[in-house]
Amino acid sequence: MENLLKSTYCTSLTQYTRRISREVFIGDVPLGAHHPIRVQSMTTTDTMDTIATVEQSIRMIDAGCEYVRITAPSINEAKNLENIKKELRARGYNTPLVADIHFTPNAAEVAARIVEKVRINPGNFADRKKFELHDYTDASYVEELERIRDRFIPLVKICKEYGTAMRIGTNHGSLSDRIMSRYGDSAIGMVESALEFLRICESEGFKNIVLSMKSSNPQVMVQAYRLLINKMDAENMHYPLHLGVTEAGEGEDGRIKSAAGIGTLLEDGIGDTVRVSLTEDPEFEIPVARELVSRYNNRMNHGNIPPITTDSIPYSPFSYERRLSYEVANFGAHNVPRVIADYSKHDKITAASLFPIGYLYSVPTDKWNLTDLACDYVYAGSNTIDFEIPGTLSLIYDASNWMKNHDKDRLFPLFTLDQFFNAEKISDSLNFISVSIDQVNLLIENKQIFNAGNIVLILTTANKHAMAEQRRLFIELMNQHIKVPVIIKQTYSSLNSDQLQLHASTDVGALLLDGFGDGIWIDTDGKISPQIINSLQFGILQAARTRISKTEYISCPSCGRTLFDLQETTARIRSRTDHLKGIKIGIMGCIVNGPGEMADADYGYVGSGPGKITLYKGREVVTKSINTDIAVDALIELIKANGDWVEKEELVS
Ligand code: SF4
């Protein structure tokens, strides 16, 4: 890791600049170099159903999709790509088509003669996954590579001859047994998996290549892309990158997870094309991808951020480690990042105001019941709260307001730095100080104020390149060994709730993924409901895997291989299990890719034939081919048998 730290993974950490990649030709829509970041998606229809696939492709293209990917699980589907292409062209659509290949090199060789791009998965192009680890000697490993080379070169030659592009698309969940044996289940394993295939292409002089490093875990995904760039730079290779968080799921969770992973990389100028994988109809993925990408159209002219080079940062961008902070009240050290609800713009705060942020008051029992998404602090600003608040909640008042109420329990002041220096009184236990990067020198000069262990900083920014500016301040705190806990505050105005979800997940998610942040505070212009903001804040922490407050669903986006109604089934499973905090459930459309792709899920629900489901506990098959009509019940029985079940009512305290 020492050597890697001395190398870069992006052009600048402080000045937004797109990574320069080589130009790749995909039909009439080139990729990389100076071209815009392209948006793409994948059909979910049966590839043998030409008209259904064409019509779905048209819906995607009309929504703004610039490449349409279609699965080709066997030679028959690969051949049918010809009919799909002809029909699309006849209807006036010239959008490049991409064949998605797993396990079937012969289907790839057919497809490469028809479509503009072929995606292969290096984990399963020439390998069958048996979840077995082998002891390879260097010689036997080289022999394996030779076997892969022999199997892969015919496809490379066809791509060269037909001008077909290729994506070498590594998925975290489907690394080959060979790679797992040598590199383990790691970001470096993902990178090496792609590089083995890339080197074969280069040896044949084939360079029309795009790469991807997808994972359902945004932490792993971000690290793998960064490592890939680092390694490619070392070999003077500059291929464009296709970004995606795989099996992100549906609805809010899927969008937050995708934005955290994809957005983190886009913030550093990384990425030439984006696919947001949601368990929804593919045309719904396009506006999400477009919103993520559009933020960078005018990013270059952001406010100045003091420069720093990637070789002098005090943390590794290639592995996760939370920034060390000491404990103040329930912030920092081993505490989960805290959630702050901003009620300062409310005219009046009543008991009912707390319902949307996880506190339900029961009049008959005169008790507060907490949900899993009960926030930790309410910022009331200049408001006062005159009812008994729940025991797990604390309040933040503006300093002048706090002075009038400072004798109350669980009530703490918020100062500006100037106010803090001039305060007649501060709290013995917890003071919040709002700071921005302009005050970094003042903070350093006065770092003795942190010795009392009663300060938590609230980091604000007005910079368009907000994440980078806030990251810069975290870096400075680390360089100065200032271990004060820090809440990340982001302020947004004029956004609707869909935009807020994506912007905040990117801006805050990116910092959390690098180990920064002891709290989250999303402030808006008051037009978005507190419930949406609260749920978003917990969702971002969950996506960054820094605070787990709900069940996690790793569900595939579905494709032509899917063997049941994935959206409906996911909704049914979710309605029965969404109270099982901390459990990960994989819901996968097919047995070919599903078990590998569901990565670190605790339980798996996988389509294994028409009307049939196979259930997994981790990587182990528990029940094979049960009927779909009893499969959800059987999944719940399996969770119960493993002691992970709780009844919904038991959770209310
Ligand atoms: S796991 Fe889902 S998206 Fe992946 S190949 Fe199977 S059905 Fe298609």
Lowest mean pLDDT among 270-274, 303-307, 554-558, 628-632: 554-558
Nearest CA to ligand 1 atom 8: 559
Distance from first CA to last CA of the chain, Å, rounded? 45
Determine the pLDDT at residue 652. 41
Residue whose tokens read 């329930």: 330
Is the confidence at residue 648, as pLDDT, over 80?
no
Predicted confidence (pLDDT) per residue in 206-227, tens digit: 999 999 999 989 999 999 999 9
Tell how strand 367-370 and strand 359-362 pair up.
antiparallel
What Å distances lie between residue 392 and 376, 633, 652, CA to CA? 7, 35, 14
CA triplet 146, 149, 153: central angle to 5 degrees?
Answer: 155
**CA–CA gap between residue 169 and residue 277 (Å, rounded):** 14
**More confident: 242 or 253:** 242
Nearest CA to ligand 1 atom 4: 593
Q: What is the pLDDT of residue 129?
A: 61
Choose among 539, 515, 39, 11: nearest CA to 299.
11
| C-beta 358 within 6 A of ligand 1 | no
Hey, whose CA ends up nearest to atom 6 of ligand 1?
Answer: 590
* 609-616 CB contacts, 8 Å cutoff, 24+ apart: 609/563, 610/563, 611/563, 611/564, 612/563, 613/564, 616/586
Report the chain's mean pLDDT, rounded to a whole number. Answer: 93
CA distance 523 to 341: 8
Atom of ligand 1 nearest to the CA of 590: 6
CB distance 104 to ligand 1 below 6 Å: no
- 298-338 confidence digits (pLDDT tens): 999 999 999 987 777 999 999 999 999 999 999 999 999 99
Amino acid at the residue 222: V
Question: In this predicted structure, what is the pLDDT of residue 133?
Answer: 64
Task: Provide the residue type at 609 as one letter.
Answer: G
What's the 588 CA to ligand 1 centre distance in angstroms?
6
| Ligand 1 atom at shortest distance from the alpha carbon of 102 | 5
C-beta of 569 in contact with ligand 1 (< 6 A): no
Beta strand segments in 84-164, E: 97-101, 117-120
Q: Any idea which residue has 């009530």 for tokens?
A: 411
State the closest ligand 1 atom to the C-alpha of 559, by its place in the atom list counted from 1: 8
State the CB neighbour count (10 A cutoff) for residue 146. 10
User: Which residues are 456's β-sheet partners?
Assistant: 432
| pLDDT at residue 102 greater than cutoff 90 | no
130 band by pLDDT with thresholds 50, 70 and 90: low
Among 214, 201, 24, 240, CA closest to 123: 214
Nearest-angstrom CA–CA distance, 130 and 110: 27
Ligand 1 within 6 A of CB of 593: yes
Distance 103 CA to ligand 1 centre (A): 13
Shortest-distance Cα residue to atom 5 of ligand 1: 593
With a cut of 80, say whether residue 131 has pLDDT above it: no
The verdict on the CB of residue 589 being under 6 Å from ligand 1 is yes
- The pLDDT assigned to 566 comes to 86
pLDDT tens, position by position, 247-259: 877 788 999 999 9
Q: How far apart are CA 159 and CA 200, in angstroms?
A: 13
Cβ of 557 less than 6 Å from ligand 1: yes
pLDDT score, position 136: 79
The protein residue with its alpha carbon nearest to ligand 1, atom 3, reads 558
d(CA 339, CA 396): 12
Polymer length of the chain: 653
Is residue 23 within 8 Å of residue 239, measured between CB atoms?
Answer: no
> Over 70: is that where the pLDDT of 279 sits?
yes
Residue 223 alpha carbon to ligand 1 centre in Å: 24
556 lines ligand 1 (CB under 6 A): yes
Q: What tokens were used for 429?
A: 């236990």
Beta strand 620-627 pairing with 486-491: unpaired
pLDDT of 452-495, one tens digit each? 999 999 999 999 999 999 999 999 999 999 999 999 999 999 99
Give exposure, 410-434, as e/b (b: 16+ Cβ within 10 Å).
Answer: ebbbbbebebbeeeeebbeebbbbb
List the one residue out of 370, 435, 380, 441 whose CA is nearest residue 405: 380
Q: Strands (DSSP E) along 155-222, which ranges?
A: 165-171, 209-214
Mean pLDDT on 538-546? 96
| Least confident stretch, 264-273, 283-292, 517-526, 552-561 | 552-561
Per-residue pLDDT at 364? 84
Token representation of residue 646: 């709780």
* For the CA of 597, the nearest atom of ligand 1: 1
pLDDT reported for residue 434: 98
d(CA 584, CA 564): 20
> Ligand 1 in contact with 597 (CB < 6 A)?
yes
Report how far ligand 1's centroid is from the alpha carbon of 606 (Å).
Answer: 10
Query: Which residues are registered as beta bridge partners of 521?
Result: 340, 489
pLDDT of residue 653: 37
Does 410 or 557 have the greater pLDDT score?
Answer: 410
Q: Which atom of ligand 1 is nearest to the CA of 42?
A: 3
What is the gyration radius of the CA atoms in the chain, in angstroms? Answer: 26
Listed range (40-49, 126-135, 397-406, 579-588) with the worst mean pLDDT:
126-135
